[in-house]
């Protein structure tokens, strides 16, 4: 469609981008955001040339906003988004495209994703009108005990030492997730889904600043492991920006997976290579790291699990998130419930308040939700999910809120016990657990209205630092997401390690419906800041009326029940000063999250991605309108 037609069409549709008017929720057509405007005009050409197999659509530019029909993909990477678009263009479903995109991210974002990691997949099946999730989280060896990360004197082991060791490596869940998603919702085979990634690994991609910087930041760690150095530090240093980076070993791994299916990992040669490295990592002369406990029996026992989503409502929307072992769905639901509850306790709706009051409320809701998730959520039986996500619990928790003064951190946890009246004496104050800052999120919508919202990770940027010899992919360090020792003596900690347990996650791939129809898919990387980034994007869009790409670009605040983090654009602003005056303890941090999202307006799709953070993401549609 030519642009003048698009313009004519837009003029006939009610655009609703007035700040404070809840335009996101009510708008009938996308409102192009300020953040997207400059980037649309300077669309990059394909950095790789044609890395896909040439049967798909033409190469699309790297932009943070694209609107059109026929399907959409939003990811952090242009090549990966293009792979997904090509799958959609050839009749693949959102599941087919999501898995192809994820596998491509394994090549171009090898420090955040890949065969050696895990993740969480939320899927809306338009035909069944049903949202289902796949828990593809990495899992602890059966031999793990609650003190596996504890020194003999009872202190926690050094975190960074455990990260770069075999002890942090859990059974990868990503290959099983891919196989299950394609089997349940795909039209293509597992092998077909991985074909573009194999080709991309073989032909390579052009190194951008983000890849260079992530490699350089990990260079000393990567040098500890000869296989990692040989793969990711060619010539002994981080590859230069603009050069082509190939990973033939990873192409071999993908070829094997395509031939043998996920059993290559769970009972075959790839699995044996993973276990050997996890137990006895190969290190450079003079370097020694701890070996781990992962065994073939752990891999053979692994299952990616289908689970019902966390469901909640917000401003008339139905919100579906990831259940345990992720805390993402529960925490996002509680934050949104608290924001609605503050409307009631103050009598002033969020959409009408000043920006500083909006940020204050968001901060208080986030801190409260983190207090509760740290006490109650983990891969244990009996997590009070219904109570934690109920409006009644939020109403009780809202009693601590003051519109003028920040609650003292850490906020005490609440009692999700089904009995909510008054403002009960609160639970203990727990410190913040430590979490990494890596990961990648992608969103896909197909022409049938199916939505895939998928966050995948190898935990820290660069994972454990251990590359599987001959196969070119890094092993995760996901088991460092367990609490090494209880957060507070005498308070049960649901996130201690145990045999066969999955560490608690913050990953929050989210799908939203309105009146039963697809509305939004959204998610982010960023460790514990994932929860706040996703919740902030939803509320900036739904309540504050920002166009989607501006909601993604908005300066972030991450309040997780300790010192808060704010990006410089917020920290150095009058809003930042106003928050400090209310008693918020805030530190400036360069960058938080990198959201991707797709808004569905029937057949019209608005794909949006991060304009700047992590070098900017890549939003694409099959038939581009603008
Ligand atoms: N390990 C983190 C989690 O599951 C994700 C990794 C990250 O984003 O740093 O929540």
Three state DSSP letters for 28-54:
CECCCCCCCHHHHHCCECCCCCCCCCC
Ligand 1 pocket, 480 CB below 6 A? no
Q: How far is the CA of 423 from the centre of ligand 1 (A)?
A: 33
Domains held by the chain: number: 1
Residue 53 maps to a domain: yes
Q: For 263, what's the count of Cα atoms within 13 Å in the CB-facing half-sphere?
A: 2
Q: How far is the CA of 57 from the centre of ligand 1 (A)?
A: 33
Residue 319 maps to a domain: no
What six digits make up the tokens of 170? 């859990």
Nearest CA to ligand 1 atom 4: 505
The alpha carbon torsion through 280, 283, 289, 291 (nearest 10 deg) reads -10
Directed axis angle between helix 529-542 and helix 355-376, to 10°? 140
Q: Specify the ligand 1 atom closest to the Cα of 459.
A: 6
Ligand 1 pocket, 507 CB below 6 A? yes
Contacting residues for 206 by C-beta, under 8 A, at least 6 apart: 47, 48, 242, 243, 244, 245
Q: Specify the ligand 1 atom closest to the Cα of 460.
A: 9
pLDDT of residue 24: 41
For residues 33 and 37, what is the distance between their CA atoms, to the nearest angstrom? Answer: 7
Q: For 548, what's the count of Cα atoms within 13 Å in the CB-facing half-sphere?
A: 31
Nearest CA to ligand 1 atom 7: 527
Nearest CA to ligand 1 atom 2: 527
Nearest CA to ligand 1 atom 5: 527
For residues 443 and 71, what is the distance between their CA atoms, to the nearest angstrom? Answer: 11
Mutation choice for ligand 1 from 137, 327, 506, CB with most ligand atoms inside 8 A: 506
Place of tokens 């760690």: 221
Mutation choice for ligand 1 from 173, 478, 531, 593, CB with most ligand atoms inside 8 A: 478
Q: How far is the CA of 504 from the centre of ligand 1 (A)?
A: 9
Give which of 326, 321, 312 is closest to 131, Cα–Cα: 321
Q: How far is the CA of 580 from the centre of ligand 1 (A)?
A: 28
Residue 251 maps to a domain: yes
pLDDT of residue 36: 55
Helix (H), strand (E), coil (C) string for 270-306 = HHHHHHHHHHCCCCCCCCCCCCCCCCHHHHHHCCCEE
Ligand 1 pocket, 186 CB below 6 A? no
Directed axis angle between helix 574-581 and helix 355-376, to 10°? 60
Query: How much helix, strand and coil, in percent to the nearest 5, is found in the chain?
Result: 35, 15, 45
Nearest CA to ligand 1 atom 1: 459
Q: How far is the CA of 156 from the centre of ligand 1 (A)?
A: 20
Ligand 1 pocket, 438 CB below 6 A? yes
* 144, 497 contact by CB (below 8 A): yes
Q: Specify the ligand 1 atom closest to the Cα of 504.
A: 4
Q: What is the DSSP letter of 615?
A: G
| 158 three-class SS | coil
Residue 158 maps to a domain: yes
Ligand 1 pocket, 527 CB below 6 A? yes
Residue 20 maps to a domain: yes
| 196 three-class SS | helix
* 336, 312 contact by CB (below 8 A): yes
Q: Specify the ligand 1 atom closest to the Cα of 437.
A: 9
Residue 542 maps to a domain: yes
Instruction: Cite the active site residues.
Output: 439
End-to-end CA distance of the chain: 8
Which residues span the domain enclosing 148? 3-306+435-579+587-624
Nearest CA to ligand 1 atom 9: 437
* 444, 71 contact by CB (below 8 A): yes
Residue 386 maps to a domain: no
Ligand 1 pocket, 437 CB below 6 A? yes
pLDDT of residue 355: 97
* 265, 272 contact by CB (below 8 A): no
For residues 85 and 67, what is the distance between their CA atoms, to the nearest angstrom? Answer: 13
Residue 123 maps to a domain: yes
What six digits make up the tokens of 337? 């419930």
pLDDT of residue 435: 58
Nearest CA to ligand 1 atom 3: 505
What averages of pLDDT result for each successive group of 10 residues across the chain (626 residues)?
32 28 46 52 31 58 97 98 98 98 98 98 98 98 98 96 98 98 98 98 96 97 98 96 98 98 98 98 98 98 98 98 98 98 97 98 98 97 98 96 97 93 79 73 98 98 98 98 94 97 98 97 96 98 97 98 96 98 96 96 97 95 93
Task: Please report, for the domain that includes residue 38, its CATH number.
Answer: 3.60.20.40
Mutation choice for ligand 1 from 172, 379, 442, 507, CB with most ligand atoms inside 8 A: 507
What six digits make up the tokens of 498? 């145990």
Ligand 1 pocket, 59 CB below 6 A? no
Q: Specify the ligand 1 atom closest to the Cα of 506.
A: 10
């Amino acid at each position: 469609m030519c642009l003048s037609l698009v313009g004519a069409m837009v003029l006939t549709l009610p655009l609703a981008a007035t700040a404070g008017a809840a335009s996101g929720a009510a708008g009938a057509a996308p409102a192009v955001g300020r953040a997207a405007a400059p980037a649309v005009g300077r669309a990059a050409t394909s950095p790789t040339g044609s890395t896909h197999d040439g049967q798909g659509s033409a190469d699309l530019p790297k932009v943070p906003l694209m609107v059109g029909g026929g399907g959409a993909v939003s990811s952090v990477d242009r090549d990966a988004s293009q792979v997904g678009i090509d799958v959609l263009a050839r009749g693949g479903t959102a599941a087919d495209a999501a898995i192809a995109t994820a596998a491509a991210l394994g090549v171009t974002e090898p420090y955040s994703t890949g065969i050696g990691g895990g993740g969480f997949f939320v899927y809306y099946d338009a035909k069944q009108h049903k949202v289902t999730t796949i828990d593809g989280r990495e899992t602890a060896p059966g031999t793990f005990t609650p003190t596996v990360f504890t020194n003999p004197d009872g202190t926690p082991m050094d975190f960074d030492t455990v990260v770069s060791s075999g002890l942090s490596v859990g059974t990868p869940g990503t290959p099983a997730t891919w196989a299950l998603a394609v089997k349940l919702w795909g039209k293509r085979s597992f092998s077909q889904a991985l074909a573009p990634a194999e080709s991309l690994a073989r032909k390579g991609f052009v190194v951008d600043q983000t890849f260079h910087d992530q490699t350089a930041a990990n260079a000393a760690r990567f040098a500890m492991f000869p296989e990692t150095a040989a793969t990711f530090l060619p010539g002994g240093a981080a590859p230069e920006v603009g050069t082509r980076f190939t990973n033939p070993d990873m192409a071999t791994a993908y070829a094997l997976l395509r031939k043998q299916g996920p059993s290559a990992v769970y009972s075959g040669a790839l699995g044996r290579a993973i276990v050997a490295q996890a137990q006895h990592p190969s290190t450079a002369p003079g370097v020694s790291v701890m070996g781990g406990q992962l065994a073939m029996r752990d891999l053979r026992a692994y299952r990616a699990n289908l689970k019902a989503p966390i469901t909640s409502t917000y401003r008339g929307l139905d919100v579906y998130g990831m259940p345990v072992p992720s805390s993402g769905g529960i925490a996002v639901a509680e934050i949104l419930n608290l924001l609605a509850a503050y409307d009631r306790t103050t009598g002033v709706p969020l959409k009408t308040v000043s920006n500083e009051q909006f940020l204050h409320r968001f901060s208080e809701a986030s801190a409260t939700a983190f207090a509760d998730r740290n006490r109650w959520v983990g891969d244990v039986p009996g997590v009070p999910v219904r109570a934690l996500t109920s409006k009644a619990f939020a109403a009780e928790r809202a009693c601590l809120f003051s519109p003028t003064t920040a609650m003292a951190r850490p906020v005490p946890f609440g009692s999700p016990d089904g009995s909510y009246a008054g403002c009960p004496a609160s639970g203990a104050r727990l410190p913040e657990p430590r979490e990494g800052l890596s990961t990648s999120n992608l969103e896909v919508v197909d022409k049938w209205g199916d939505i895939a919202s998928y966050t995948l990770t190898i935990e820290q940027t660069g994972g454990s630092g251990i590359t599987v010899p001959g196969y070119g992919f890094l092993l995760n360090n996901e088991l460092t997401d367990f609490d090494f020792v209880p957060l507070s003596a005498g308070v049960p900690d649901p996130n201690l390690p145990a045999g066969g347990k999955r560490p608690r996650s913050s990953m929050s791939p989210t799908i939203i419906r309105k009146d039963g129809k697809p509305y939004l898919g959204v998610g982010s990387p960023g460790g514990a800041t994932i929860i706040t980034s996703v919740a902030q994007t939803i509320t900036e869009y739904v309540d504050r009326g920002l166009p989607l790409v501006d909601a993604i670009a908005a300066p972030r605040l991450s309040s997780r029940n300790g010192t808060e983090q704010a990006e410089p654009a917020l920290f150095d602003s009058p809003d930042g000063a106003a928050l400090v005056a209310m008693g918020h303890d805030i530190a400036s941090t360069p960058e938080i999250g990198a959201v991707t999202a797709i808004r569905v307006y029937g057949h019209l799709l608005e794909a949006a991605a991060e304009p700047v953070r992590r070098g900017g993401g890549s939003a694409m549609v099959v038939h581009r309108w603008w």
